[in-house]
Amino acid sequence: MNKILLVFGTRPEAIKMAPLVKKFKEESDLFDCKVCVTAQHREMLDQVLQWFEITPDYDLNIMRPGQDLYDITSNVMLGMRDVLKAYQPDAVLVHGDTTTSFATALAAFYQQIPVGHIEAGLRTYNLSAPFPEELNRQLTGRLAQWHFVPTSLNKNNLLSEGVDEKTIHLTGNTVIDALYWTTDKIKRQALSAGNVDANVISVLKDPSIQTILVTAHRRESFGHGFVNICEALSKLARMHEHVAIIYPVHPNPKVKEPVERYLKNIPNIHLIEPLNYQDFVYVMEAADIVLTDSGGVQEEAPSLGKPVLVMRDVTERVEALEGGTVELVGTDVTKIVDRINHYLTPENNFISKVNPYGDGKAVERIVSTFKAHFNN
């Protein structure tokens, strides 16, 4: 029996790894699959585990108030040392660009356990944007034996860095698998966004109201960037009485403080608590426009046919830019307002384009790679 350990610690990782966990579990005659969570983000991680019905086999539970990158890195490595010694997996799979992924890959390297990198090959080649994610994914890639890339552009990034083409596997992004699984479950069980404010639900269901879903939390926007975002949202809300802005506010004080200071008392701006994954998907599917700085949302929203405006100066999702499924607006007030106004105008209806991030079959391709590897 081939032993596979999947490791993740944050909500985005959990969302993207969950369908892979489920697929490996379906192949229990070939794989002994176990899950380790670091709980780099505790509460948001647990919500995803509950939704996807995943019970971790190992839980490092590292989250502490005021933790920094030093704490996360060292605590993940020390915790993984013990887990790897106890389980002795044949392969460790990590995801993307988190500190959990890098520290886990390094811990596995120290025990000479091969690493598979899910969502490999994303690059901005700017170590400050996003920080520390760009360094995390580059270092994880250096430690990996399997590189599962969402797009051909990601593959070309790795080839240009000298990675052996035989180790690179073009799969699509598992976030699309997770999105389709979730929308299907919502429809099958006739679920509504039960944890969302009733006023927000009524706004989403009112055909006379256009809705903008906002997510913003990135470090590089702290300070002046968030002030600009708030100014843009305030202008839009005052310009359009029949537009509702729905903003699940990240709990980080550097986000929450300026958002509440500038936007709290504007009637058609709905500042709500962070949403669990399924509620977020429900709201995203119902919204008309998505304004975000999230990498995952850049991948998900196009599959739901939404125009996506990205509040970052650079993005590693370059194929989305090239394919016209997202636009970069940065944190420039004028640009945000102008592009939102463009999509609020009836004659500029957005035409949905093919999502470059996959067809919902990424996990099948990843598991097939391991079947072939272990059979050989």
* 182 lies in some domain: no
Annotation marks residue 217 as catalytic: yes
**Could you tell me which residues come within 8 angstroms of residue 199 by beta carbon, excluding any fewer than 6 positions away?**
270
pLDDT for res 77: 98
Q: Identify whether residues 97 and 230 lie together within a single domain.
A: no
* 177 lies in some domain: no
More confident residue, 70 or 305: 70
Q: Identify whether residues 48 and 149 lie together within a single domain.
A: yes
Indicate which residue of 13, 59, 133, 319 is catalytic. 133
d(CA 344, CA 288): 9
Annotation marks residue 169 as catalytic: no
Q: What is the pTM of this model?
A: 0.84
Annotation marks residue 133 as catalytic: yes
d(CA 370, CA 328): 37
Summarize the confidence of residues 74-100 as an average pLDDT. Answer: 97
* 185 lies in some domain: no
Q: Identify whether residues 156 and 260 lie together within a single domain.
A: no
Q: Identify whether residues 342 and 369 lie together within a single domain.
A: no
Annotation marks residue 41 as catalytic: no
193 pLDDT more than 70: no
Q: Identify whether residues 108 and 130 lie together within a single domain.
A: yes
pLDDT for res 220: 78
Q: Identify whether residues 160 and 239 lie together within a single domain.
A: no
In this structure, the number of other CB atoms found within 10 A of the CB of residue 255 comes to: 19
How wide is the angle at C-alpha 212 spanned by C-alphas 208 and 216, nearest 5°? Answer: 165
| Minimum mean pLDDT range among 200-204, 233-237, 360-364 | 200-204
pLDDT for res 36: 98
**201 falls in which pLDDT band (50, 70, 90)?**
confident
353 pLDDT more than 70: yes
pLDDT for res 333: 96
d(CA 57, CA 277): 22
Indicate which residue of 142, 219, 240, 342 is catalytic. 219
Q: What is the overall mean pLDDT for the chain? A: 92
* 190 lies in some domain: no
Indicate which residue of 11, 13, 41, 97 is catalytic. 97
Q: Identify whether residues 146 and 253 lie together within a single domain.
A: no
Q: Identify whether residues 115 and 247 lie together within a single domain.
A: no
Summarize the confidence of residues 2-14 as an average pLDDT. Answer: 95
Indicate which residue of 42, 81, 240, 250 is catalytic. 250
Reported as a single tens digit per residue, the pLDDT across 123-166 is 989 998 888 999 999 999 999 999 999 999 999 999 999 999 99
* 142 lies in some domain: yes
Summarize the confidence of residues 9-38 as an average pLDDT. Answer: 96
* 203 lies in some domain: yes
CATH of the domain at 230: 3.40.50.2000
Q: Identify whether residues 12 and 149 lie together within a single domain.
A: yes
Reported as a single tens digit per residue, the pLDDT across 292-344 is 998 889 988 988 888 999 998 888 788 888 888 899 999 999 999 999 999 99
Q: Identify whether residues 168 and 228 lie together within a single domain.
A: no
Q: How many domains does the chain have?
A: 2
Annotation marks residue 95 as catalytic: no
The boundaries of the domain holding residue 248 are 198-348
| Nearest alpha carbon to residue 77 among 110, 118, 51 | 110
* 280 lies in some domain: yes
* 356 lies in some domain: no
Locus of tokens 């607006």: 329
| Nearest alpha carbon to residue 119 among 142, 149, 143 | 149
Q: Identify whether residues 124 and 255 lie together within a single domain.
A: no
Measure the CA dihedral 271/273/279/282, to 10°: 10
Indicate which residue of 119, 177, 285, 300 is catalytic. 119
More confident residue, 319 or 10: 10
Q: Identify whether residues 59 and 111 lie together within a single domain.
A: yes
